[in-house]
Structure formats: structure tokens, C-alpha cells
Amino acid sequence: MSDSPFIIVGAGIAGLATSLGLARIGRSSLVLEKAPDFTALGAGLQLGPNAVAALQWLGVWDALSPHCVAPREIHIRDGVTGAVLQRVALGADFENRFGAPYRVAHRNDLHNALLQVVHQYPGITLAPNVEVTGVSITSTTLTINSGKSLKAKAIIAADGVNSIVRNTMHGGNRASSGHTIYRALVPVGSVPQNVDMEVVTLWLYPGGHVVHYAVSNGELFNIVASVVEGKTTPATAFQRACRPLADILNAQKTWTAWPARDVKPKPAWSKNQTLLIGDAAHASLPYMAQGAAMALEDACVLAIAIRNSREIETAFGNFAKARVARASDIQKQSRRLGKIYHAQGLLRQARNMFLQRTSPRRFMDRLSWIYDWKIPKE
């Protein structure tokens, strides 16, 4: 391992996608990962047309597509009554409208597809078991756990919501939403038979919500439950759930839990030749299912900004200008959706009435600002 023009901190989705974006424009990179291997954590994720478009540009879609599930529809339901509040078809009309399909996948499948393509580029060097312990923004230097210092032309921090680079640049700034996310991934054979495996279902419940869908080419079933902190398990948080939802939650006894966090936006994502990207720059609550998509979009926009600029600082500044407003809107809307999804009393009734009276086409119009994203002109 040696110095590199571009050093990327973190080999998650944002870091690997960034390395591929750089490789696409002929730039080499060194990707540091503190874990001993490159196994991804997490369970399922949703890939809207904007995410698919980014994966296509990065050259990853062909490797990932065979492992995805193509849901027929999205259903939004009331978790107490079981009523279907909204249905969105995801077939040919949807794909024609937005220029790319809607898919769901296991995070590991996405991560493995990124790695598969990364290995095709000799200019990308992966360095596992390397933890960054110190950062010098002034000299563009990283100190790693071996005690060695690495000098870079530029540092790109893709090290997540607890980014050491971000903390050096802006000071400590972790934020908690007051929500806890529970995830479970189970074989489809253990799922109640009345569950439609071709549908992404969102259950809205007072004080929480649940999302579930099949992943890994239909072999696994992903369940995500969000609740107000203080609730010990999904079983206790959703005690009034209707029978279909209760059956799904009761069938799963083992959950992985962690606090839902977002990162308060800062006025600058870069300083000198150091840049924040992905969750390190703009982590948001997962309620719009756009976390992976935002990281993939970042990688594309950054690569084009670097190619079109003579100076790194200029490229980093142009990247931030192109991304801050969109990332901030995703953050704000995600927080807002958390309140809407978990609504109680009169607000819950008004929400349900709105969803039931809104046509699917009009409902999708309200999301077009997300899915209509396109690769910047090169």
C-alpha cells in the first residue's frame, strides 16, 4: 500500500461506487476499509429508477440485475385496520415514465456487484483492515492504524454517519431521530402464505411503521420495522396490529436493532482537497428509501465534476453545489415522512383519507422529483 492521487475512506456502497466513478474517467484510487473483509452489513434496500440509472452509468447494473426482485406494485396499508390506502403499479408504464425500473435487492447483492466490477479495474486498490485514526485537512494526509501516514492528492470520505473525516472537518455532529430501526431477513418459506411476494408493502401504524418485500431473487424476505425509542421489540411496539401484520411480526423472533440517525447539513462538504460524500455528508432517515440511491448519485456527479474541472478544489466545490439542495430535500422529506407514517389520532385519519382519495398517478407525480433524476450532461 502506498500513497495515491485519490484515497477513499470506506468501502461501503458510497466508497466503492466512488472508486468506479473515478475509474470511469481514468482516475486511480486507493480504498481503505477498517473491516477485515468487504462483507456488507444490512438487509434489503429499494432501488428506484434514479438508483438504477446511476448503477447503469457506473457499469454495475448488469452484475446486480439478476439478483434483484421486480415487484409488481407498492401497497400502503393501515397497520391497525389492514385497509389498503394506496397502490402504485411498477410495471411497464412506470419504467417508461422514468426511464428505468424499480427493483428491490439485498444490500450484500449490491455490495458484491460493486466489488465484482471494481475487480475489473487495475487502477482501484482495495485495502481491508486499515482504519483511519487521524486526518490532516491541511496536508491532505491520513494516519492509519499501523502508524503510517498516507499522502493523497485528494481525500474522499465515504465513512458514513460517524465519519472521522467529518468530525475532523466540522466537529462532532451525530444526531438521533428518536426512532429505532429493527431489521430481519428470513427465508421466504417461513413467511405467512397470505403475503404477496410480488408487492412491496408499507404498513403505517401509530408510533411506528413496517416495510417488507422479497430480495435475493425471491429467496429471502426482508422486514424493516421503525418504532419510537423505548419500545423494546416490534412485538411490543405493534400490539394493536391487524392480523396480517401481526402474523408477519410474530413469525420473526430475532431482530437486529440500531438507532436511526441523520446528519445535520453543514454549509460545506469540502475543505481544501478533502471531500465528504454519501452518508458522511448527508445521511438521512431511511423513510424515503433513498440512502443507497443518494450515494450512487453522488459517485456519478463527483466523477463528472472532476473530469470537467482542472483543479480538485473546484471540482469538489462544483460537486457540492450540484448535490446540496437535493440531499437536503431528501433529509427534510424523510423527517417529515417519519411523522406522517407514525401519525396518531386526527392526523392519522387525515393521512389515510388523503391517501385513499389520491389517484395512483397523482401520488406518483408527488415522487417524480426523486425518480426523474438523470446523469448530468457530460
Average pLDDT per consecutive 10 residues, the chain (378 residues; last block may be shorter): 76 97 96 83 88 98 97 97 96 94 95 97 95 94 92 95 88 70 91 93 96 93 87 83 93 83 80 95 92 97 95 95 94 93 96 96 92 86
Listed by start position, the domains of the chain span 4-70+101-175+261-338
- Which backbone phi and psi does 200 adopt, to 5 degrees? -85, 120
Backbone region of residue 224 per phi and psi (left: phi > 0; alpha: psi in -120 to 50; beta: other values): beta
CA atoms within 13 A on the CB side of 179: 25
Q: What is the dihedral of CA 238, 243, 249, 252, to 10 degrees?
A: 150
- State the residue for C-alpha cell 429493527: 182
Predicted pLDDT at 262: 82
Coil, strand, or helix at residue 103?
Answer: strand
d(CA 8, CA 162): 15
d(CA 208, CA 234): 9
Predicted pLDDT at 99: 94
Quick count: other Cβ atoms within 10 Å of Cβ 197?
14
User: Please, are residues 275 and 266 in contact by the beta-carbon 8 Å criterion?
Assistant: no
Predicted pLDDT at 170: 83
Strands 4-9 and 29-32, by their bridges, are parallel
First to last CA, the chain: 33
Predicted pLDDT at 5: 86
Predicted pLDDT at 236: 85
Number of residues that this document lists for the chain: 378
d(CA 47, CA 37): 25
Q: 4-70+101-175+261-338 in CATH: which number? A: 3.50.50.60
Predicted pLDDT at 40: 62
d(CA 321, CA 337): 25
Enter the pTM of the model.
0.94
